[in-house]
Amino acid sequence: MDLLQAPETLLLETHADGVLQVTLNRPDVGNAINTRMGQELLDLWLRLTNDAQGVRCVVLTGAGSKIFCAGGDLKERKGMTRAQWTHQHEIFERMSWALVDLPLPVIAAVNGHAYGGGLELALCCDFIYASSSARFAMPEVTLGIMPGMGGTQNLPRAIGERRAKELIMTGQAFTAQQALAWGLLNQSIEPEQLLSETLRTAQTLARNAPLSIRQVKKSIRYGGQMELRTAYRFEVEAYNQLVDTEDRREGVLAFNEKRPPRFKGQ
C-alpha cells in the first residue's frame, strides 16, 4: 500500500479487514501540528479519497500515552510573518475539510489530552473514543486567536451552542467524563484498552458493505444541513444508488444462505 512516501510526522499501520491506523508521531512536542504534519495529513486524506487502496476504515490516534494532539505548533509559529501564518493555516483548513469529506469512516482514538487544533481534528472524525484520563480544551482565545479548523461549528453541533460558547470563550479544560456526558464522546475507555477497543469497532465497520457505509456517512452529514423533507428525499436518493450493486445482491444472498457476506465495494 503506497499512501505516502516516507512520512516524517505520521505512522501508518494496516490491520485486518482493511483498517488503517494513522498515528500523529511528534511525541516530543505533544504531537503538535506543524506545517509538515498538516501537509502530510492533507495528502493522506486526498489520496484515500481518490483511491482507498483497500482501506475501509481509518483510526486516528497519537503517539505516546499522555497527549493525542496539543494543537498547532506554537514554537514553529513563533516569528512567523502574516503571510507565512496565513499560508500554513490554509493547509490546516484544507486538511480538516479533506478529513470531513473523506468518504471512509474515521474513528478518533484520543489517547490523551486534545487541545486546540487537536480537539478540532478529533471533531472532524465521524466519532470519538477517548482515554478516561484524557482532557480537552479550546484555549485559542487565551492566545489572541480563535478556533479555525471547524471548532466553532463542530463543537456546538456536538454538545450544544450554550456549552460550546462557554468552553470556547473561557478556554477552560474539561475531562473525558464531562465530554462523555455532554455527547462529545461515543465512549470513554480505560487507557490500556483504548486502541484495542477502537480497532475492534473499526474492524466491525470495515466488514460491513463499504458502499453502504459511504452513503450513510454522506446522508447523515449533508442531510443534517437540510430541511427535513428535503433530507428524506436526499436519503432515498442515496439509498437508491445501492439497489443495483453487487454488494446488495451479496448481502441478500448471504442472509438466505446463512453465511457471512463477502462485500467487495462494488
Q: Kindly list the catalytic residues.
A: 120, 140
The CA distance from 248 to 204, in Å, is 18
**Three-class secondary structure of residue 182 per DSSP:** helix
The CA distance from 41 to 74, in Å, is 18
- H or E stretch covering 152: helix 151-159
The CA distance from 62 to 65, in Å, is 8
DSSP character at residue 81: -
Sign of the Cα torsion 194, 196, 198, 201 reads negative
DSSP character at residue 29: G
Helices and strands in the chain: count of H runs, count of E runs: 11, 10
Cell of 202: 473499526
